[in-house]
């Protein structure tokens, strides 16, 4: 049973554009929502994370928007650059990340010049 649904599976965005990746969850016990970024040949690495007590978190060009009532959260990449081309995974966890993460299926993002 997939508890975190991620879309789209792949995304192509022009350089300078906004990349948007969406995730939805079912388990209302989730209280920690990280995004991981994975480059080819590397393991995933934490990009940005949010807790449900805030609706938005921004770090540089990366923003997480969180809608608790809809049980949805999204990653926005502003001014997308070719170096942002990677696979992005959303995830969710209960107990503030101190236990196992449930990952989405991933989005392969390609930024074209």
Partner 1 sequence: DVKVTQSSRYLVKRTGEKVFLECVQDMDHENMFWYRQDPGLGLRLIYFSYDVKMKEKGDIPEGYSVSREKKERFSLILESASTNQTSMYLCASSSTSGWEQYFGPGTRLTVT
Shorter beta-carbon distance to partner 1: residue 44 or 74: 44
Shorter beta-carbon distance to partner 1: residue 17 or 31: 31
Considering only 14, 55, 67, 105, the residue that binds partner 1 (CB under 8 A) is 105
φ, ψ dihedrals at 76, nearest 5°: -115, 130
Shorter beta-carbon distance to partner 1: residue 9 or 69: 9
Binding mask of the shown chain, residues 51 to 90, with x at each position contacting partner 1 by CB under 8 A: --------------------------------------x-
How far is 17 from 36, CA to CA, in rounded Å? 20
How far is 82 from 107, CA to CA, in rounded Å? 15
Shorter beta-carbon distance to partner 1: residue 12 or 46: 46
- The DSSP code for 101 is -
Distances (CA, A) of 39 to 20, 29, 50, 84: 18, 30, 22, 9
- Report the first-to-last Cα separation within the chain, whole angstroms: 38
Residues within the interface to partner 1 (CB under 8 A): 6, 9, 32, 34, 36, 41-46, 49, 89, 93, 96-98, 100-106
């Amino acid at each position: 049973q997939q508890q975190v649904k991620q879309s789209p599976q792949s995304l192509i965005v022009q350089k300078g554009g906004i990349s948007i990746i969406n995730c939805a969850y079912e388990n209302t016990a989730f209280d920690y929502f990280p995004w991981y970024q994975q480059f080819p040949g590397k393991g995933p690495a934490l990009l940005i994370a949010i807790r449900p007590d805030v609706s938005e978190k921004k770090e540089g060009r990366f923003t997480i928007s969180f809608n608790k009532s809809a049980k949805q959260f999204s990653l926005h990449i502003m001014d997308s650059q070719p170096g942002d081309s990677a696979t992005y995974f959303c995830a969710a966890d209960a107990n503030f990340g101190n236990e196992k993460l449930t990952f989405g299926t991933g989005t392969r993002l390609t930024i074209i010049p």
